[in-house]
Structure 1
């Protein structure tokens, strides 16, 4: 019994427990984890060029995706706002408003069609408008299509300055332009240069927001009257402009800026600098005749007065029958007071006041700026950069004239080109006439309020 009890009292020593592979205690795992992290950091440090490139690529990709997400949110908000207009009830007897869109797909280096279809077209279709999109295939086609266009309630121009100039030229060349010029016009900025957008819409860094704001402004219905310049040569049909006409050395150098694209931010200064090497001093000789400003007539009411009752109309007819009006003696028209000026300038510009619109002014005129020809090469290069930002700026020392009509006579054999709303035309003797408040363009309500506040102050 004793032997049995002694054997029973013996126990084998237990083997140390082993953790399954991949599991370890916190104390045991710490050195291995630190070693792994150290290897990662060492690898990144040894390949710092690849690491830097990868970080930059990931940052750019994340920023690009975030920008796309924000653009989609802007489009969604604009579509919801447009749907409010589309959900409005209209009488069954009232037809849908017809909107004719002139789209230039070549604008913005061929990106205009994609920009329009993604940002503007959904808003127009959700608004309840009967939209008819006319796509141009070549330069000058918008003029011909505009001359053949049937009746419409809205005209929408989707493109840049060139598209705007073509459409308004075709509109004002029509035989019935008096009626068609009363149709409100919308402008969706899709081109490389969109001068009107600075007047009609608030400034925006985001292109999607700028396009959606312009499209929503058409639905809101606020309009402003804009002046138009009628530019007529000796033989050609008149051309119409909303910004103005430029003729001179700054315009010629600005056209060549794109040739020096490889110089990056220095391309503008390079174009003007190389322009001074070909010919200096650069003078343009001409003769100018002009008329002074004209008084603004009272604005016509937008709503026509209601027809008077029958008894009022009968009374008026009887009064005219028994006491016919006397024949008025025609008054002699005073001769027009033309002013004549011989000029020598580095650049001449004739501009409307659409860039700085004043809705309460009492006189109508266009601004003629004759820049002095005594400019140094350094001033020419520096001023050329300013002219690229504001083409119709009038520098200090220039002669400024306010006129309602002018005739520009050029010497025989004059070469070069005019810039009319950033479009190139052959230089020739022309007559420029101001058509005050000729067209009405849709604008953002905030911009209209801002113009009215500025006029009151």
Structure 2
């Protein structure tokens, strides 16, 4: 009893040191417990990957060769460590030949894509965030090689902070253990199950296209998020202070522009017209007959035609086009993948882009509350459900640019200077490794 009283008296007399060492002890126990759990997770996945590595191949076969594009700066410069501890061992245990390419500057992944051919790689794996993934996708599609697009699937190792597309693709939330999320994505590459994905083509007025898997946003909320790192001295409060600064500026912080779009339900009519026109041309060609046909019949050279080649030729039709002026605090475009409601909707009959248009004159309080709500929101969608939403298959947007004012788009986490753009959907354009369960909304 005397010992207990003495111990309590010592703690009371040295309460500052006692509180400090108590906090350190609690953190140490939690860290040790989490480290042990993560090590157990790695052990389970390694055992599973090893089974694939024990499979026999013939003498004429070579191990599957994959190119891994690693962004070491991802996740606060922890990307390399996360990959080497959680994904690389699984890929090697499965018997894959891994060629690791560490990106050192922006757009480097795009440049590499221009020199890799179908014969060089069995698949491409992106170890990074949404921005690195967008770079690789853009590099592949700018090659213009349809055989490469169809023959070389893409894998994702989510190492970024947001991982919007990976979270949708593998159906996990922010609460999922990072080690497990990375291991699951690596096992998807090893197992080899693939599924086609729609890609957004965002073409500027210069004719150069950027490709996205998630979407695009512009407006006050986007600017506030992009500006938050300037207020680093506020620590964790910088996420809230950036919205306070937004409402202290000129009001309202709206963007103006002209929107032209073709509703997604107009696609059926457009395709039926194309089909009728094609049938008519076929009938006319069959009527062109001469006596030479009795002795000689020309046979056209076989060409490799892909189903989605016909879909890239969608043009604006004055009959189906809708045009309107917009004045809003937020404008977003999102891939239709994020609005699939069931696992069976792997190949929607109608391709579409969701167009989100925010209010034109919210109060300062409303903008501040909405911004703070988004800080802890787990949603994958851009904008909010209360915005006006349109479903379109082709969009043309021309923002109103004021001299001396800078406007920026955010496309899959990367920033681009705002300019007139044309957006369309390339249906089922690329193949991605996926888990055993198809993603749903």
Could you state the TM-score of these two structures normalised by the residue count of structure 1? 0.78
- In the TM superposition, 1:351-370 aligns within 5 A as 351-357=334-340, 358-370=345-357
Distance change (3 Å), C-alpha of 1:233 and 1:49: same
**Partner Cα separation in structure 1 for residue 294 and residue 12 of structure 2:** 105
Q: Pick from 414, 418, 424 the counterpart of residue 433 of structure 1.
A: 424
- In the TM superposition, 1:362-381 aligns within 5 A as 362-381=349-368
Q: Which residue of 2 aligns with 1:159?
A: 128
Tell me, yes or no, if the aligned pair for 2:255 and 2:400 is still in contact at 8 Å.
Answer: no
**Partner Cα separation in structure 2 for residue 49 and residue 394 of structure 1:** 46
**Partner Cα separation in structure 2 for residue 397 and residue 108 of structure 1:** 31
Q: Pick from 142, 148, 173 the counterpart of residue 173 of structure 1.
A: 142
Distance change (3 Å), C-alpha of 1:286 and 1:37: closer
Q: Which residue of 2 aligns with 1:62?
A: 29
**Partner Cα separation in structure 1 for residue 166 and residue 294 of structure 2:** 55
Residue by residue over 1:63-119, the C-alpha shift from the partner in whole angstroms, topping out at 9 and shown as x without a partner, is 211211111111111111100110111222222111110001111121101111111
Give the C-alpha shift of residue 198 in structure 1: 1.5
Q: Which residue of 2 aligns with 1:442?
A: 433
Give the C-alpha shift of residue 326 in structure 1: 12
In the alignment, structure 1 residue 345 sits paired with structure 2 residue 345: no
Give the C-alpha shift of residue 213 in structure 1: 1.4
Q: Pick from 66, 71, 74 the counterpart of residue 104 of structure 1.
A: 71
RMSD over aligned Cα, in angstroms?
Answer: 2.8
Residue by residue over 1:373-419, the C-alpha shift from the partner in whole angstroms, topping out at 9 and shown as x without a partner, is 02111111122234454474454553322111111123354631111
Tell me, yes or no, if the aligned pair for 2:401 and 2:407 is still in contact at 8 Å.
Answer: no
Runs of 4+ residues over 6 Å off in structure 1: 320-327
SS in 2 for 1:286: strand
Q: Pick from 400, 408, 417 the counterpart of residue 411 of structure 1.
A: 400
**Partner Cα separation in structure 1 for residue 368 and residue 316 of structure 2:** 44
Tell me, yes or no, if the aligned pair for 1:268 and 1:384 is still in contact at 8 Å.
Answer: no
Residue by residue over 1:250-305, the C-alpha shift from the partner in whole angstroms, topping out at 9 and shown as x without a partner, is 111111123334445543332112112111012211111112223599xxxxxxxx
Tell me, yes or no, if the aligned pair for 1:387 and 1:393 is still in contact at 8 Å.
Answer: no
**Partner Cα separation in structure 1 for residue 330 and residue 114 of structure 2:** 34
Give the C-alpha shift of residue 429 in structure 1: 0.8
Could you state the TM-score of these two structures normalised by the residue count of structure 2? 0.81
Give the C-alpha shift of residue 360 in structure 1: 4.9
**Partner Cα separation in structure 2 for residue 437 and residue 360 of structure 1:** 8
Give the number of the structure whose alpha-carbon radius of gyration is greater: 1
Tell me, yes or no, if the aligned pair for 2:334 and 2:382 is still in contact at 8 Å.
Answer: no
- In the TM superposition, 1:254-273 aligns within 5 A as 254-264=225-235, 266-273=237-244
Gaps of 5+ in 2: 272-292, 301-313
- In the TM superposition, 1:190-339 aligns within 5 A as 190-201=159-170, 202-203=172-173, 204-235=175-206, 237-264=208-235, 266-293=237-264, 294=267, 336=317, 337-339=320-322
Gaps of 5+ in 1: 1-33, 298-319, 328-332
**Partner Cα separation in structure 2 for residue 71 and residue 165 of structure 1:** 29
In the alignment, structure 1 residue 126 sits paired with structure 2 residue 93: yes
Paired positions, count: 390
